Amino acid sequence: MNLPNLLTLLRVFLTFFFIFFLYQDGLAFKIMALGVFILASLTDFLDGYYARKYNIITQFGKIMDPIADKFLMLSAFFIFSTMRIIAGWMFIIIFAREMIVTGLRLLAIRGKATLAAEKAGKVKTVLQIIAVYLIIIFIIAAQFNINTQWYANFMSIAISGITVFMVGVVLITLSSGLSFIWNNRKEIFNSTGKH
């Protein structure tokens, strides 16, 4: 077991803590959820960095790294949808896209093929992470529950801003998924044809 793989497993472990803290009531738990998400995001960067720097590419890493990433991000968006901060349809589109693309990647790995990553996919990932940060900060701000008009106006503007931003995230998530499938259609067809 090497360092990148340990960091990947740590991200899975941290995701359970993130889920637990986010579901608890109270400001302290929400701040801990933010801290855990920051740490989990850091492991995502570090495992890729060390894998590339020291050329540590394993079959376990190829399979588990994207699964760990999706587990963290989809858990966050699912919780946000249950809290009614984002619409259910937003989570469904993000979930479907990530499951299809990750499934195709894993199928390609089994068939010893490589599906090229795209710039749009990287932009999607960055925007999703920013969205999660913004929403957690919104959740933390909501814990103060200040009974003033300016606070109510601020929170109303914040949730509207989150909704607009999330529409953009969903559109990029969907379009990057369709682009990925189209541009890798030959490799995908060959991989699925082998199974």
Q: What is the CATH number of the domain that holds 118?
A: 1.20.120
Cα–Cα dist 81/89, whole Å: 9
Cα–Cα dist 151/173, whole Å: 32
**The amino acid at 47:** D
- 58 contacts 5 by C-beta, under 8 angstroms: yes
Q: Could you tell me the two tokens for 49?
A: 């960095």
Per residue of the chain (195 residues), give pLDDT as tens.
689 999 999 999 999 999 999 999 999 999 999 999 999 999 988 988 888 888 888 888 888 998 999 999 999 999 999 999 999 999 999 999 999 999 998 888 887 777 767 889 889 999 999 999 999 999 999 999 899 999 999 999 999 999 999 999 999 999 999 999 999 888 887 776 655
Q: Which domain holds residue 41?
A: 3-193
Cα–Cα dist 167/23, whole Å: 24
Give me the numbers of helices (H) and strands (E) for the chain, helices first please.
7, 0
116-119: list long-range contacts, CB under 8 Å, 24+ apart: 116/183, 116/184, 118/176, 118/179, 118/180, 118/183
Cα–Cα dist 24/147, whole Å: 22
Residue 166 confidence (pLDDT): 98
Cα–Cα dist 183/177, whole Å: 10
- 109 contacts 63 by C-beta, under 8 angstroms: yes
Report the candidate in 121, 141, 122, 145 with the shortest Cα–Cα distance to residue 34: 141
How many domains are contained in the chain? 1
Cα–Cα dist 138/121, whole Å: 26
Cα–Cα dist 193/110, whole Å: 12
